[in-house]
């Protein structure tokens, strides 16, 4: 898939659904104790590594960024969709947000202490994921923590409608945790732990804890 085409479709889709998406996700973490536990473990690893700015890449309306801030982290958000960030700034005016693509991450080398990508890799084509992980590696210091969340499984589907019935055009990828772990190791990361969430549901989730290999 052409890189600019899928990026443009993803940006346009999330610009379109930004308000309804934020309304649907507002308070979502309150009902997800396993996700909150994963973020708490991540926050602890950031503090153990010395703290510093944390990039929430693909932050959407900023609800996870705000949760990390509430855990005491210096978290800021980056997202492809300008409209989504308008909503994030409206809902979380005390936090920092910037427009950017994870395929060309607008951060200097070793400029953040940790990176989070929570269900934001799901629209990235397989052949682009290694490049994204290379960017995560570039912006982290040695031993810097990385947390990935994604749909577990196999296959890809085209999402044409969502979040209030608005039109969308995004590919939604499901990936086996072992495959993502392989990509992480190839990009210079050490995988620390793997969680499988809702394994009895039609679309399970997976979380991988990793750090940049020193």
CA dist 94 to 74, 124, 126, Å?
Answer: 11, 29, 35
For domain 3-192, the CATH superfamily is Vaccinia Virus protein VP39 (3.40.50.150)
**pLDDT given for residue 4 in this prediction:** 77
Q: Which of 152, 168, 180, 131 is nearest to 6 (CA)?
A: 168
**pLDDT given for residue 2 in this prediction:** 57
Residue whose pair of structure tokens reads 């732990």 in the numeric block = 193
**pLDDT given for residue 65 in this prediction:** 98
**pLDDT given for residue 1 in this prediction:** 47
**pLDDT given for residue 165 in this prediction:** 82
Give the chain's mean pLDDT: 95
CA dihedral (5, 9, 10, 11) positive or negative: positive
The domain limits of the chain are 3-192
pLDDT tens, per residue, the chain with 214 residues: 455 799 999 999 999 999 999 988 888 899 999 999 999 999 999 999 999 999 999 999 999 999 999 999 999 999 999 999 999 999 999 999 999 999 999 999 999 999 999 999 999 999 999 999 999 999 999 999 999 999 999 999 999 988 878 889 999 999 999 999 999 999 999 999 999 999 999 999 999 999 999 9
Beta strands at 189-197 and 205-212: parallel, antiparallel or unpaired? antiparallel
């Amino acid at each position: 898939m052409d890189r600019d085409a899928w990026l443009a479709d993803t940006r346009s889709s999330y610009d379109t659904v930004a308000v309804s998406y934020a309304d649907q996700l507002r308070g979502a973490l309150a009902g997800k104790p396993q996700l909150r536990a994963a973020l708490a473990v991540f926050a602890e690893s950031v503090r153990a590594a010395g703290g510093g700015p944390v990039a929430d890449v693909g932050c959407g309306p900023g609800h996870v960024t705000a949760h990390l801030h509430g855990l005491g982290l210096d978290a800021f958000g980056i997202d492809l969709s300008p409209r989504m960030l308008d909503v994030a700034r409206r809902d979380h005016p005390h936090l920092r947000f910037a427009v950017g693509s994870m395929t060309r991450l607008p951060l200097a080398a070793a400029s953040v202490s940790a990176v989070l990508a929570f269900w934001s890799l799901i629209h990235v084509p397989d052949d682009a994921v290694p490049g994204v992980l290379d960017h995560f590696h570039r912006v982290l210091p040695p031993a810097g923590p990385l947390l990935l969340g994604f749909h577990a499984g196999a296959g890809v589907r085209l999402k044409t409608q969502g979040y209030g019935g608005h039109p969308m055009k995004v590919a939604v990828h499901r990936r086996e945790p072992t495959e993502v772990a392989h990509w992480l190791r190839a990009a210079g990361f050490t995988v620390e732990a793997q969680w499988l969430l809702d394994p009895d549901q039609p679309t399970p989730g997976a979380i991988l804890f990793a750090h940049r290999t020193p």
